[in-house]
Amino acid sequence: EAQVTQNPRYLITVTGKKLTVTCSQNMNHEYMSWYRQDPGLGLRQIYYSMNVEATDKGDVPEGYKVSRKEKRNFPLILESPSPNQTSLYFCASSLSRPSDYNSPLHFGNGTRLTVT
């Protein structure tokens, strides 16, 4: 089954304790991206990757890191989490640029992160 898999689904941590949220897709997609979803703000892009070893900042990259060493994996790293990073995070992938009409985004089921 074609899917984007994120882990964990729920994560509670404390300020400053490094964490990684994993994301993997099995559709051989070139494009991958991380979003955070906050009430009233919709989805905001954190980082994206057009291909292996090609990553770039989205709209809200501060406090986050990513890597794309393999095509299928795109982990999100929080080196020193803070309470304002409490949010619902989504990983997504698409065949090419997500705005291409023939390249819809496929989303994972989300990771709800709480930083205390």
Partner 1 sequence: AQSVTQLGSHVSVSEGALVLLRCNYSSSVPPYLFWYVQYPNQGLQLLLKYTSAATLVKGINGFEAEFKKSETSFHLTKPSAHMSDAAEYFCAVSGWFSGGYNKLIFGAGTRLAVHP
111-115 and 10-13 as β-strands: parallel, antiparallel, unpaired? Answer: parallel
Burial label, 28 (beta-carbon count in 10 A; 0-12, 13-18, 19+): exposed
Of residues 25, 29, 108, 115, which one binds partner 1 by CB under 8 A? 108
Q: Does residue number 99 form part of the binding site for partner 1 (CB under 8 A)?
A: yes
Q: Does residue number 101 form part of the binding site for partner 1 (CB under 8 A)?
A: yes
Assigned token pair, 5: 């898999």
Q: How many CB atoms lie within 10 A of CB 95?
A: 16
SS3 state at 84: helix
Under a CB-based contact definition with an 8 Å cutoff, are residues 80 and 67 in contact?
A: no
Of residues 1, 42, 62, 116, which one binds partner 1 by CB under 8 A? 42
Q: Does residue number 41 form part of the binding site for partner 1 (CB under 8 A)?
A: yes
Count the residues of the shown chain that bind partner 1, applying the rule CB under 8 A: 25
Q: Which is nearer to partner 1, 42 or 62 (CB)?
A: 42
Distance CA 78, CA 21 (A): 8
Binding mask 19-38 for partner 1 (x = CB under 8 A): ----------------x---
User: Can you give the binding site for partner 1, defined by CB under 8 A?
Assistant: 4, 35, 40-45, 48, 56, 58, 90, 92, 97-101, 104-110
